[in-house]
Amino acid sequence: MKTYIVGNFKLNFTVGEASIYLHKLLKALPVYRDVDVVIAPSTVALQPLSLQVDRHKMKLAAQNAFYRDYGAYTGETSFSQLRGLVDYVIVGHSERRHIFGEDDKFVQKKVAAAVRNKITPILCIGETESERSFGETADVIRDQLLGGLADVADDELDKVIVAYEPVWAISSTKAAKLATPDEVSEVVKLIRKTLGETYGNDAAEKMPVLFGGSVNSSNAGAYLTVPGVNGLLIGGSSLILNEFVDIIETAKRVKS
């Protein structure tokens, strides 16, 4: 299976800054066939960056989109408008869930809209610190995973990527803690077990599962060697070009 290294810029970089970053990243990267490098800049940067990107080297993702293709939805961008610009869309990120109130039903429609529009959704799931402390991690993971996938046909499951991002490990969270590889391993096992019980072992094994939460060039190798982890979703460290390139090179080294 391929390895995915995805940089989520969140609300950072002007269009000009994102373009300069991309220029430098393309210069620094060779073509890595078995590592899919992806960046998710702000929506306004997607159109110019889609003209600039070398798709042999890397791909673009949107950070969010709305599930209706068109209509009276002020301020939204649809998956159908993103067709041709991006290969991936991040869906159900914890910041969307917790700051903007997106629930599993809403996320479910977005995942289905992405698949319908031939864009790969990166479905983010993860428990908060208090959910973990109350022993609710397994329930939250199961609900978010099966809720998110509920409208995807069985024969289209191979078009979805899952990202496990424990909310308490995300760097912007107050008092963020690093997840240990064992903690990551336990939840990744649960994700595959849940997928296996619901959709069969073949689908469970084929679905890429990424990890995200304070990943940097020093800990990327440890997370990438957790069994069942197929890549990383990176926030803060993806904004620092050398860090991001280091992580990509680590992925190449660890996974080949």
Q: Is 129 a catalytic residue?
A: no
Q: Is 93 a catalytic residue?
A: yes
By beta carbon distance, the residue nearest ligand 13P is 235
The reply to whether 8 sits near ligand 13P by the rule CB under 6 A is: yes
Binding piece for ligand 13P, criterion CB under 6 A, among 30-38, 43-51, 198-206, 209-217: 209-217
CB atoms within 10 A of CB 253: 10
Query: Which CB, 40 or 203, lies closer to ligand 13P?
Result: 40
Query: Which CB, 8 or 128, lies closer to ligand 13P?
Result: 8
- The span from the CA of 177 to the CA of 158, in Å, is 32
Binding piece for ligand 13P, criterion CB under 6 A, among 64-72, 170-178, 184-192, 194-202: 170-178
Chain length of the chain: 256
| Residues in Cβ contact with 91 at an 8 Å cutoff, skipping those fewer than 6 apart | 64, 65, 107, 110, 111, 114, 121, 122, 123, 124, 148
- The span from the CA of 157 to the CA of 243, in Å, is 32
Instruction: Find the binder of ligand 13P among 165, 203, 220, 244 (CB under 6 A).
Output: 165
Instruction: Provide the residue type at 199 as one letter.
Output: Y
- Residues of this chain that interact with ligand 13P (CB under 6 A) are 8, 93, 165, 170-172, 212-215, 233-237
Residues identified as active-site: 93, 165
